[in-house]
Structure 1
Amino acid sequence: MFGKKKSPVGNSSSSHLKRTNNTPSIISEDVRLTGSLVSQGEVQLDGRIDGDVRVNHLVIGTTGTVEGTVTAESVIVKGKIFGSLNASKVVIESSAQVHGDVYQDTLSIDAGAIIEGNLKQRHEAETVALINNDTESKSELTSVLSEGDNDLSFFNKQAAEKE
């Protein structure tokens, strides 16, 4: 009656991962993971991940490789990424190789790093998406201007109507 509440038997805590400590997760050099990696904490990657990575903070060591999309709050790259990288803060060190687009708020690149792809601030990507969504109104404008007589331009039609 006045004791602790009992949790239901079917309660599954795995559906919502909650960070309980500040110890980083380490994927060592001899580990190869196929599939997605999700963590709310820090991950040190010295092995290989073939799949998407979604973490709060990621450090890719010199022997670390990701083949997939990386999404994080902050990323330090010393190893290799084959795929897009989307993070608020990105640090690409001299030993790094990034083969894909990088979307970031702040970016630091050391001399000697190899980057093959586009570097874009994240607010630029949102602006481009908004402009692309406006193509329907442009097609309506061209269709209105092209209607009617083909031998007279829009301005010539207005001048002819005044006379």
Structure 2
Amino acid sequence: MFGKKKQAPASSTSSTLKRTNHTPSIIAEDVRLTGTLVSQGEVQLDGRIDGDLRVKHLVIGLTGMVEGLIEADSIVIKGKIIGSLIANKVTIESTAQVHGDVFHDTLSIEAGANIEGSLKHRHEEDKIAPIKPSSSDESSPSILADDDNDLSFVNKQAADKS
């Protein structure tokens, strides 16, 4: 009215989700979801999700099942996961079945839990660096002589003894 431009109202379908309350989202036992689930809060899963999850805090109940990749700050597993899991804090209870790799910062496993896959601390990759030969190492002698290239290391040792 007085020369000021009106600001466009904020879109309700914003690409970033803002948490407005602290009520957990509940996916009931009779619900099956196919696709990606994203939440900035807590999700209680008693149903089944075929797809990826990216949540702040996830509780998979006794009847809950996920088939896909899970990324969370913290997760409590009582049900079943088929797929990889990446989380800061992972709690696997005695009724849990995990079929996939678990990448974690903190891990707790109760006796009786069924885990098929590898458990990896997320910062292991930072601590382990591959050894790369430097150009100065090229002058170092080879374990095998050039004429013994067809011999394995064990066979070479046996040949050296005789």
Question: Same fold judged by TM-score > 0.5?
Answer: yes
Per the alignment, residue 125 of structure 2 pairs with 125
Q: Distance in 2 between matches of 1:98 and 1:141?
A: 47
Which stretches in structure 2 are left out of the alignment for 5+ residues? 148-162
Alpha carbons of structure 1 residues 48 and 100: separation in structure 2 relative to 1, 3 Å: same
Number of the residue aligned with 1:20:
20
1:138 to 133, 136, 143: 133
Q: CA separation in 1, counterparts of 2:136 and 2:50?
A: 47
The match for 1:80 is: 80
Would the alpha carbon gap of residues 64 and 140 (structure 1) be closer, same or farther in structure 2, given more than 3 Å must change?
Answer: farther
- When normalised by structure 1's length, the TM-score is 0.76
Aligned partners of 2:18 and 2:139: how far apart in 1?
Answer: 56
Matched-pair identity in %: 65
Instruction: Give the Cα separation in 1 of the matches to 2:80 and 2:91.
Output: 13
More moved, 37-46 vs 101-110: 101-110
User: How many residues are matched?
Assistant: 143
1:51 to 2:55 alignment:
no
Alpha-carbon distance between aligned partners in 1 of 2:87 and 2:74, rounded to the nearest angstrom: 6
Root mean square deviation of aligned Cα: 2.8
More helix by share: 1
Report which stretch shifted further, 92-101 or 13-22.
Answer: 13-22
Measured after TM superposition, the shift of residue 120 of structure 1 is: 1.2
Query: Residues 77 and 141 (structure 1 numbering): CA distance in 2 closer, same or farther, change over 3 Å?
Result: farther
User: Could you say if the C-alpha distance between residues 6 and 45 of structure 1 is closer, same or farther in structure 2, counting changes exceeding 3 Å?
Assistant: farther
Over 3 Å counting, the alpha-carbon distance change for 1:74 and 1:10 in structure 2 is: closer
Name the counterpart of 1:40. Answer: 40
**2 CA distance for matches of 1:110 and 1:8?**
53
2:61 maps to 1:66: no
TM-score w.r.t. length of structure 2: 0.76
State the 1:105 CA deviation: 1.1
